[in-house]
A and B are shown apart, each in its own frame.
Chain A
Amino acid sequence: MFLDIDKRRTESPALTDNEGNSLTYGELVNLIRSAGKYFEPRTLIFQLCENNVGSMTGYLAAMESGAVPVMLSAKTDKKLLSDLTDIYEPAYFWTPADKAEEPGTGYEKIYEKYGYVLLRTGNRHPLNEELELCMTTSGSTGSPKLVRYKKGNLYANARNVAKAFGWTEAERPVCDLGMQYTMGLNVINTHLYAGAHVFLTSYNLFSGDFWDYIRKNKCTNFTGVPFSYDIMARLHFERMDLPFLTTLSQGGGKLTDARFIQLAEYAAKNGKSFFADSATTETSARMACLPPELAVKKTGSIGRAIPEGELFLVDDEGNRITEPDTEGELCYKGPNVTMGYALCKEDLLKGDEFKGEYHTGDLARFDADGDYYITGRRSRFLKLLSYRVSLDRCEQLISQEFGIECACSGNDNRMNIYLTDKDKKDEVLSFISKKTGLYERLFKIYNVPRIIRNDSGKIMYSRMDAENAD
């Protein structure tokens, strides 16, 4: 069975949600077997996800039967859902029963469980034999682009991440990241593989309900994207009494050095473990992690590859970099590398294009011990007056100098700098001009009410540019 769920102790608790549902591994195995019969092999299913047992039932049943879920949020914008439906023509929807009308009317109801229904649309088209699941690309909300997972990707990643992190059946992870995202699904898969007790929740970090939920259930592991940790810092979590919470791990984008240090020191002082790591949707989530005992010493490091994986750097000519502290593009090889992308339903027939190797587009270096550090984004560069200027570096410089939040974007004629702090406008302008050695007219500063971010905390530069176009 998927993730070896049927090899865990049948009486151990497996899944709990905040809607009052709870299942043991034995009950989960029975549920997967009985629900799996309704999920037709080699058909495409739009899975409209919520973090609850009903949503998990559809996902695990599809994995069991060989149906191919496309993981989408149940809160997907109606226009986007209808566009995606037109493009990919799913054979089924697995959707919350109270939203059964949203994908369209006139569909036949095939099966119902835990508040979810399976709807048949009557569409049908062939899929590649190796295709296991599809996920939207996390960086581009609103895009119909999907990442194509191949059979074995999720299992390999669950097994190797569980090993790298040392998860056991004693873990009690809380998962507030949506299961339609690569990191949310990774929290669930790795812990089910370990035989642990997964606590799903739809509560957000800013609600008292979330903290009551993890206190009541004595959750031991929390995984957050950088934005999660921004919120937790705002809530002064270091002052909260959370004795049961022993592991904090990071996923999604890169933490700022200041936040990294704060988490590493908090963990060290309070006898907890902080795992920094690196994950992409194209590698079925995590590729690397830094052992917690190194976190205080190696600020900003993502550590080394997980078992069965390999990290390496290539230079602009595509040659492997062998010298420490030399910047190059971060690449990864391993059994969790997916097959490629899809932009239309015909692409779902395509075979493996990545062939086990993914070039992340991130710039990185490794130190003398072989631990990796992400230093920037390959494509996040401007050529101002033919000088190569790193947008990420400029963001870092400004936020370090002034202690304020900012976002930098632009084109080869001009850099846009978005600031939420309007008093700093002139100072930032002269500072960045001095730092880059480029004159002030090449920079345009915008005062904005907020830096727009997506659900995983990544800055949405194109939206910032669109909303502030002059």
Chain B
Amino acid sequence: MSNIEKYNNVFKDVFRVDENELNENYNFKDVDSWDSLIHLTLISELEAAFDVMFETEDILHFGGYLNGIEILKSYGISFDD
């Protein structure tokens, strides 16, 4: 499985959304169901999927689908494949 597939699967599981909704508009501010509990689950699932441990600042600034990819890249996860 490519990293982008892994990433999308976590979002699909946590938010129960279709893949075609996952784009630059999928953000904390615009998605009503994105509450603290979802955020906690999302962060934990991503950490497990990519075997990383996020720093506090990254957890706080994980504000959307696209920006999450940038954060994971800073942990050495490549999305080029």
Contact = CB atoms under 8 A, between A and B. Distances in A.
Interface of A: 204-208, 211, 227, 230-231, 234-236, 239-240, 449-450, 452-453
B36 A206 contact: yes
Interface string B22-41: 00000010000001110111
Chain B interface SS verdict (over half): helix
25 contacts: A204-B36, A205-B36, A206-B36, A206-B40, A206-B59, A206-B60, A207-B60, A208-B60, A211-B60, A230-B40, A231-B36, A231-B40, A234-B40, A234-B43, A235-B59, A235-B60, A236-B56, A240-B56, A449-B13, A449-B45, A450-B14, A450-B37, A450-B41, A452-B37, A453-B37
Contacts of A208: 57, 60-61
A25 B47 CA distance: 47
Q: What 5 pairs across the A-B complex have the smallest Cβ distances?
A: A208-B60, A206-B39, A450-B41, A235-B56, A204-B36
A421 to B, nearest CB: 10
Nearest to A405: B44
A307 B2 CA distance: 61
Nearest to B61: A208
Contacts of B39: 206
Contacts of A450: 14, 37, 41
Contacts of A211: 60
B79 to A, nearest CB: 23
Contacts of B28: 207
Contacts of B13: 449
Contacts of A234: 40, 43, 59
Contacts of B56: 235-236, 239-240
A268 to B, nearest CB: 22
A28 B38 CA distance: 37
A367 to B, nearest CB: 34
Nearest to B59: A235
Contacts of A204: 35-36
Nearest to A230: B40
Given A211-B60, A235-B60, 6 more contacts: A206-B36, A208-B60, A227-B36, A230-B40, A231-B40, A450-B41
